[in-house]
Chains A and B, each alone.
Chain A
């Protein structure tokens, strides 16, 4: 009768050990999440995809000008030098779904007359312009 009893105890001990390990991992994650949530999401980004960008900045910039643009309107973007036009173009499509994103220009003056331009500043602030006129 002793062998089965020992086996039961061994199984319980193994499960306790595994659960203790899992709880320790979870506790570590919890402490890091509470202390530095930005760092934790950064770890994810480094691990999974190296081409993500300032998503919060893009959401803030385009979200601020969304209501100032006509629904269905054609919109051009201007960006500070060195900013990735592909990445920001996609972000514009995502955050301005009611508009048609025509492309990214070097300067707002290059946009067709009467069209709408969202100019993003180096600080990440966006301004709506039409045919060179600031709004």
Chain B
């Protein structure tokens, strides 16, 4: 797991360092990419995780057949994800017009050249979107032309990494391997991995880096502060991936800052988290300012007027959003999330805030980010129904791993409560 999380951090650094260097003239070619990765590798080798064996090992309290069933569900879900990614064609419009197109256009004769973004005809490519992910594909293609095979392989590997990292987070939150397998299976079967719309888009990568960041924060408790700065790198990398990565990074950083603020060595841990995150966020914003602002943004025009007009009859939009979250595709995930959130809130109201803090912080990130998406739909210049239909499930899916961590944190307290009462 340490190696996997180190790789996730390495990829973020590869883009965050490689893109500015490429803009300054570094060739995007096999030798330069390999040399850059080799130069960054010693840094990520310093990622430190506490071994699960060293920590309090979670007792497996479930009967063996139940544990086996959970493991079968996980393996089946992962196998189906891989099979579907292999079989399904790349088909989403945003891949051909935005994400994939940019990665295939941006390297000309071994040099990064973003001039095409200003050409007539590329206005619909959302030229102002962050370019970290297209750059990552280019770097992984060693400067060659990224194609279907690369997009699919990267998607599959990031998906596998996400499942593994989320499972590790559930274990770190104190749940048993059986429950960790079950929740990881739910993630692997969720629209984030199962729907092929996400292949070649940025939603799954966004989910991976935010989850990795928060799991690294969870790992940093006690005597293992060596995973705090990599957490800052992962969370600071979010605005390099997607526009909504900026608010998500700020929310996740706020939650992470509270989590690392307890106990001794609070200030160094906060600095280790916020310094790399701040640098990366500033870098993403600086590069974003250089990108042409062609095309139309969701909040262009009189967004306040649109928002007020729609707020006067919110039922239509809220019903659409609610219907989506209640759809069978989610396999009941959002109901489970809502129940666990309600439990954590109920416990917090009973003056047990500290014991439910992690659950509330993680769920808070999900709820506030969902609220932001809802606000955008109220103010968008697009026809609301079309906008919701074409994006809500996809962008919401990226929050599922965080929701699973929130469920796990809440479930731990639920289970502790049961145990306490059982002992009475």
Residues of A that sit less than 8 Å from B by CB = 3-4, 7-8, 11-12, 15-16, 18-20, 22-23, 25-27, 29-30, 33, 37, 40-41, 44-45, 47-49, 51-52, 55-56, 59, 89-91, 93-94, 97, 101
Q: Is B189 an interface residue (CB 8 A)?
A: yes
Q: Is the CB of B418 within 8 A of A7?
A: yes
Using known A-B contacts A30-B80, A48-B393, determine if residue A22 contacts B185 with beta carbons closer than 8 Å. yes
For chain B, the count of residues having a C-beta within 8 Å of the partner chain is 48
Closest to B62 in A: A12
23 A-B residue pairings within 8 Å (CB atoms): A7-B418, A15-B62, A15-B70, A15-B179, A16-B66, A19-B69, A19-B182, A19-B185, A22-B185, A26-B73, A40-B84, A40-B88, A44-B91, A44-B195, A48-B92, A48-B393, A48-B394, A49-B390, A52-B91, A55-B96, A90-B97, A93-B101, A93-B121
Alpha-carbon distance A89/B125, docked complex (angstroms): 13
Q: Is B87 an interface residue (CB 8 A)?
A: yes
Q: Is the CB of A33 within 8 A of B84?
A: yes
Using known A-B contacts A19-B73, A48-B394, A94-B101, determine if residue A26 contacts B189 with beta carbons closer than 8 Å. yes
Residues on A with beta carbons closer than 8 Å to the beta carbon of B186: 22
Q: Is the CB of A91 within 8 A of B189?
A: no
Residues on A with beta carbons closer than 8 Å to the beta carbon of B104: 94, 97
Query: Taking the nearest CB of chain A, how far is it from the CB of B88, in angstroms?
Result: 4
How would residues 84 to 96 of chain B score, 1 for a CB under 8 Å from any chain A CB and 0 otherwise?
Answer: 1001111111001
The answer, among A4, A23, A27, A44, for a CB contact under 8 Å with B88, is A44
The DSSP consensus for interface residues of chain A is helix
Residues on B with beta carbons closer than 8 Å to the beta carbon of A59: 89, 148
Query: Taking the nearest CB of chain A, how far is it from the CB of B181, in angstroms?
Result: 9
Residues on B with beta carbons closer than 8 Å to the beta carbon of A15: 62, 66, 70, 178-179, 182
Q: Is B76 an interface residue (CB 8 A)?
A: yes
Residues on A with beta carbons closer than 8 Å to the beta carbon of B84: 33, 37, 40
Residues on A with beta carbons closer than 8 Å to the beta carbon of B73: 19, 22-23, 26
Q: Is the CB of B105 within 8 A of A52?
A: no
Query: Taking the nearest CB of chain B, how far is it from the CB of A91, in angstroms?
Result: 6
Residues on A with beta carbons closer than 8 Å to the beta carbon of B197: 44, 48-49
Alpha-carbon distance A33/B196, docked complex (angstroms): 12
Q: Is B83 an interface residue (CB 8 A)?
A: yes
Query: Taking the nearest CB of chain B, how far is it from the CB of A37, in angstroms?
Result: 4
Using known A-B contacts A4-B422, A22-B186, A48-B390, determine if residue A33 contacts B80 with beta carbons closer than 8 Å. yes
Using known A-B contacts A27-B76, A40-B88, A55-B91, determine if residue A90 contacts B96 with beta carbons closer than 8 Å. yes
Alpha-carbon distance A3/B89, docked complex (angstroms): 54
Closest to A58 in B: B96
Alpha-carbon distance A23/B65, docked complex (angstroms): 14
Query: Taking the nearest CB of chain B, how far is it from the CB of A1, in angstroms?
Result: 9
Alpha-carbon distance A94/B194, docked complex (angstroms): 25
Alpha-carbon distance A23/B91, docked complex (angstroms): 28
Alpha-carbon distance A15/B62, docked complex (angstroms): 10
Would you list the 7 A-B pairs with minimal beta carbon distance, nearest first?
A: A4-B422, A97-B104, A37-B87, A41-B88, A19-B69, A48-B197, A26-B76
The answer, among A18, A37, A55, for a CB contact under 8 Å with B90, is A55
Q: Is the CB of B87 within 8 A of A33?
A: yes
Query: Taking the nearest CB of chain B, how far is it from the CB of A126, in angstroms?
Result: 17
Given contacts A40-B88, A49-B93, A94-B104, 18 further A-B contacts (CB under 8 A): A11-B418, A15-B62, A22-B77, A23-B72, A27-B76, A29-B194, A30-B76, A30-B83, A33-B87, A37-B87, A37-B88, A41-B89, A45-B91, A51-B93, A52-B91, A90-B101, A91-B96, A97-B145
Alpha-carbon distance A97/B62, docked complex (angstroms): 55
Alpha-carbon distance A28/B96, docked complex (angstroms): 31
Alpha-carbon distance A12/B194, docked complex (angstroms): 27
Q: Is B100 an interface residue (CB 8 A)?
A: yes
